[in-house]
Amino acid sequence: MLAQPSDVRSFGEGWIFERKLDGIRMLASRDAAGHVELWSRTGQRLNATYPEAAGALAGQACRDFVVDGEVVALHRGRTDFALLQQRSGLTNPAAVRASGVTVTYYLFDLLRLGGVDTTGLPQRTRKALLRDALDFTAPLRFTPHRNHGGQELLDQACGWGWEGLIAKRASAPYAHRRSPNWLKLKCAAGQELVVGGFTEPAGSRIGFGALLLGYHEGGRLRYAGKVGTGYDTRTLRELRGRLDALEEARSPFGEPVREGGAHWVRPELVAQVAFTEWTRDGRLRHPRYLGLREDKPAAEVTREKTPRRR
């Protein structure tokens, strides 16, 4: 189930409010035989990448369940997507240990319990069952919520350095799609964008100069601008290798992109980008690269609403 971006800030009764987490969405299942599987939204098996989460779920007294949640890396109490990138894609146990990155798996929903499908139950009931079903020892955490919220609660969340809030209709079932029963209330501009090309590095820089980004609208890939900051040396090298493997002769964008010497790639990679705002001509202002999203299909990337200024 996915949340819709929203600028709604006034809510009546019947909603709960959770912290918006900036990490990797992950479903986890355990069958009656005790076998655990971790999956990303795109169907990638993540047991080897997050073995501590798999181990904690395997050790539960509750033997049969499916849960939904988000894997994050925390730095001084805040979720740090760039830090989490140091674990993303690692499958070798030695490499996972050497990364030095501790992850936390926040659980916020329950899809099956004891062989029974729970997706038709109300949101509040599913969370109550989840809280009672599992033992939340590290790296597992139950995602708490508040029963009242709106602009004041969002302001508090932003002041704490959170990404924002997720508002959920307490009586709603779990739907395997984007739903108005889950609303994304963001503190600052930022979203996922599709990588459609890149420029060559200049001067002493290695790898590439900037990523050329876009989003899907009206059946075509719209150009949103380029992002040239936020990369370390390792990212520049590794990402250039992935870009070279996707290179194509023609631009994937549905409009002219005036970047001299641009290289075009198949629009398969999804980048998480922070920025201050959208310009009037539909470009990103002051963008900064945060990392790749392996859990977001490129075909689903559209332009999100910018939160209303406070």
Catalytic residues: 20
Closest CA to 69 of 42, 117, 104: 104
Q: Give me the DSSP letters along 36-55.
A: EEEEETTS-B-TTTSHHHHH
State how far Cα 48 lies from the chain centre. Answer: 19
Q: Return the DSSP state at 124.
A: H
Between strands 103-113 and 116-117, the pairing is antiparallel
Helix or strand (DSSP H, E) at 7: none
User: CA quadruple 90, 96, 100, 104: dihedral positive or negative?
Assistant: positive
CB-based contact 143:106 (threshold 8 Å): yes
CB-based contact 212:199 (threshold 8 Å): yes
**Three-state SS string across 130-174, please?**
HHHHCCCCCCEEECCEECCCEHHHHHHHHHCCCCEEEEEECCCCC
Closest CA to 253 of 282, 223, 211, 219: 223
